[in-house]
A and B are shown apart, each in its own frame.
Chain A
């Protein structure tokens, strides 16, 4: 039975190394904390070749279409997202403030938002750096395709600018 014990120790040692290495890298759960300002909504897919320009322009979705697109989404009409450490997300719009719960799932690549009435939405975290957050969500209404939401971290961007 000595070999079983030695290989179990090997497993523990390797897992310990992984855990130590992970401590050196910031978790997406920590990185996402803070205030993020909505920068752009973009199409990632287009239905026709003559709509290709939409893919490359930074904010090609008009407010009316955003409203249509986000009609069934929690994030609808939010301009600033404030992720709090207690698992709450404050969505501030021009004249609205909403509070939802947030969780990061999978390997840190899924953002789950839960509304008070238990409606749940999932977003893919495509990019998460100290200054930039990119989320993707699927939509089959009107715009047909994947929309990309880009954010700038308000605190860190201001720090850099200063």
Chain B
């Protein structure tokens, strides 16, 4: 490539602050860094004076790849970005593209989307709870909570046939309607899950070791959190009552009655409590969604955005043409740019799509919540012990797929 010559760095990529310190490398293959995060930590005694995150080990160039794919094919990549919250990513992407297309989704479709997104949030928080506790030496919660996550993944499988990467929410609606079995499973889950969550909660909330490890560790103030670009449970634990589901409702979230849990101190323990409370709020939303699920179509009527129903193809020439065009060429949104942000499991999750009027995005960018939240680790680690870094990483809840993209 002859674009810009790049001079490789001559020495290590880390500058020491003082002389009498020790530099410790952690990761990228370290179980408590939740993937391939590498930390370079400078220690004075046991106190951290500098912490630097080295990322990019999982960079796959999805934003470049997307510029060569039609919008429908881009959907499949969104699952792989934050693979623990796949439906949330699908939803954010679908909303951004729909904003360009200007198409409306019927209420049933919106409710189904909410259900999938909330289940994804629960699944993602389950993983966080299990691994965070595991990092801190509490092994039992992991087994209990992973069992519940399995239940959620089973429901995704019933819905879409895929456990982790459903790609079920697409621009224009959903790929298919809710199967009947899903409803019975969901209702059963909504009875069982709060009980199981209570079991895990009992193990940790008043646990003196847990409290010792997490209370007053990694305290982030509200102002700092916002300046750093932190959102989601991290900002809320710091006392910012900010949730896009309330402040800018999308996909019919205004129909549901739920609360935003907000912390007081902003330490790891508060982040833990906020996420636990969020799972319960998600259950509340799911209960309301399944009880009030409207009947009718779940896809947009706009034939440019959604393929026609299969039975129409046999009788209508236009439907056949639309079907063929939809799957070979895709759709052409208006020239322009659109950003849609949703409240993902880890914070604000948005897609910024620039369209030049062709069937492929001109620029396709995700606002990665983990990536923006990660910066807070470099700030929070200073002055803490090495063991606290493990607690902080766990409480930030990062997914390296989303950080590196």
Q: Do A and B bind each other?
A: no
Query: Which A residues contact B (CB, under 8 angstroms)?
Result: none
Query: Which B residues contact A (CB, under 8 angstroms)?
Result: none
